[in-house]
Amino acid sequence: MTATQEKSAARTTAEGWLDAFADALSARDVDRAVSLFADESYWRDLVSFTWNLKTVEHHDGIRDLLTQTLENTDPSNWTLTAEPAEADGVTEAWFAFETAVGRGSGHVRIVDGRAWTLLTTLDELKGYEEPMRENRPMGAEHGANPERVTWKESREQELSELGRTRDPEVVIIGGGQGGIALGARLRQLGVPTIIVERNERPGDSWRKRYKSLALHDPVWYDHLPYLKFPDNWPVFAPKDKIGDWLEFYTRIMELNYWGSSTARSATFDDAAGRWNVVVDRDGEEITLRPRQLVVALGVSGKPNVPNLPGREQFQGEVQHSSEHPGPDAYEGKKVVVVGSNNSAFDICGALWEVGADVTMVQRSSTHIIKSDTLMEYGLGDLYSERAVKNGVDTRTADMIFASLPYRIMAQFQKPAYDKAREVDADYYQRLTDAGFDLDFGDDDSGLFMKYLRRGSGYYIDVGAAELVADGHVKLAKGQVQEFTEKGLRFTDGTEVDADLVVFATGYRSMNGLAADIVGQDVADKVGKVWGLGSETTKDPGPWEGEQRNMWKPTQQENLWFHGGNLHQSRFYSLYLALQLKARQEGIPTPVYALQERHHLS
């Protein structure tokens, strides 16, 4: 078959499936629509049908979703938006569609004439489109007007009124990358929003970390909404450069950012349908009354510092990695870093560079992948200069990634990590010979699945692992039992001396931070945040199929969670913003399959 014939066949397959699906939905024939899916099939919907982030599986799941949502959604105008492609017996196609209240897009994989995976997303609300491109604001008001109000005057009035004489619609607690990305989306949608952040300036959460910190993800993966990094931006941005970018972004996007502010408490008034959020704003107590409250304090919250006996007798310093200022004061000192994750390796590497005597404590196996290898085999087809040259922009890459249901994502990830073990075999052997315990996840699916399932236990190597392999950074293994006067003692009785102990032991769950603000009862009502329920290490079931309670409605009315890495903050902020905008405007939002409460772990 020639290339032209292959394109024609792919288009015929895609058009045939999409037309049949559209006809079945228009006729409200659920059984006919279900018959268009393979026996093993997955439908991932981001807000458009479900007003939720939800993946359903196989015929029973798809039938239930359609039965519950089809009438209200009233989908129509299904059209292909790009030339379909076929490879290895799988036809892939992009499409657009409309619902009763919005416009959406999606992706389908078709095998033997039936859908294997389907992605549907809500892109915008009818009548509330973002002021972009042909809809951008004029800015200048031409002509004479004795009552003219300049942009500066209007902005100053907004800053003085919002939160004082005028209630915000949304309060976002947390002004890191997640809160800023969501704030930018809401700003474009005209949703009055205040971001509450304890640090003084946007980006300070990055600036205050140890000085060697830099992004481990490449630049193409990390753009924020609306405003890409410049084309000369470094592949791996240093922390202070990211801090400056977040500060400038906040100003350019005109966000209402309350720095030096701490949310002390938040209680929901059921009768009024509003939160009472008590904020300490640089010493002044202010009560905000938003309808919607978003906790955007990151995937992780409070520093997780083991409560070890004997700390009072230890003569050295103790820090969590989030408190570690950098290596400069520790030249010639004995430093023990407890942990073997990104932060642990970064800190160990920087300490070794200044001449510290460094020991890393590995308590459990760690997944390591070289940064260059990850870029080449794990991210390169979607997020790289190569991808850009091949016409894969950030939005397309995000949608391709989102089109893979979590249930089967591991099988798409595994080949990249199999390749990594092949090309970097000598590197991994050297680490093993040094006594380092390696893993590639419970099912060998690597970095991203570990992150989704538990949020820890990995290192994207930008050079520090070589120090362990070469013995420049010493390696101790096992569980720490207690402090001694001079250092740490392990459960097997061995000891290690230290002038400084750094606990690179991660963070407690987001639930803990939420409980400090909304109360333990509300946190318990919501249940677990993050994790898929994959029955893998640190991610107990039951299976959810989406990140628990992230970017979607929770069991607590008008309470939302937002966060993740820069990619997730960018991508999912759109869908959370659309849900919040719909509620502001009184658009019906019947939620399909609200997340069940699972006990906190």
Clarify whether residues 343 and 204 are in a common domain.
no
For residues 259 and 116, membership in a common domain is answered with: no
The pLDDT value given to residue 601: 45
- Beta partners for 98? 76, 103
The verdict on residue 327 lying in a domain is: yes
Q: Are residue 371 and residue 482 in the same domain, yes or no?
A: yes
Q: Residue 25's pLDDT is what? A: 98
Asked if residues 480 and 488 have their Cβ atoms less than 8 Å apart, the reply is: yes
318 and 419 share one domain: yes
Same domain (yes/no): 333, 461: yes
User: Which of residues 109, 125, 141 is at a domain's end?
Assistant: 125
Structural domain total, the chain: 3
Residue-level pLDDT at 258: 98
Residue 600 lies in a domain: no
Q: Say yes or no: 424 and 498 in one domain.
A: yes
Instruction: Say whether both 59 and 171 belong to one domain.
Output: no
**CATH number of the domain residue 198 falls in:** 3.50.50.60
pLDDT score of 4: 77
pLDDT of residue 596: 87
CB < 8 Å & 24+ apart, contacts of 417-424: 417/369, 417/378, 417/444, 417/445, 417/446, 417/447, 418/444, 419/373, 419/377, 420/369, 420/370, 420/373, 420/374, 420/377, 420/378, 420/446, 423/373, 423/377, 424/370, 424/373
Q: What is the pLDDT of residue 598?
A: 65
Query: 311 and 287 share a domain?
Result: no
In a domain, 229, yes or no: yes
pLDDT value of position 304: 86
The reported pTM is: 0.96
Q: What tokens were used for 330?
A: 């520790």
Q: What is the pLDDT of residues 330-370, one digit of tens each?
A: 999 999 999 999 999 999 999 999 999 999 999 999 999 99
Has residue 363 been placed in a domain? yes
Task: For residues 490 and 529, state if they share a domain.
Answer: no
Q: Are 286 and 229 in contact (CB under 8 A)?
A: no
Tell me, yes or no, whether 331 and 479 share the same domain. yes
Task: Flag whether 85 is in a domain.
Answer: yes
**Has residue 598 been placed in a domain?**
no
Give per-residue pLDDT as tens, 35-65. 999 999 999 999 999 999 999 999 999 999 9
Residues 526 and 502 in one domain: no
The domain in which residue 545 lies consists of: 153-301+508-584
Residues of the chain with pLDDT under 50: 300, 601
Q: What is the CATH number of the domain that holds 9?
A: 3.10.450.50
Same domain, 458 and 362: yes
Q: What is the reported pLDDT for 483? A: 97
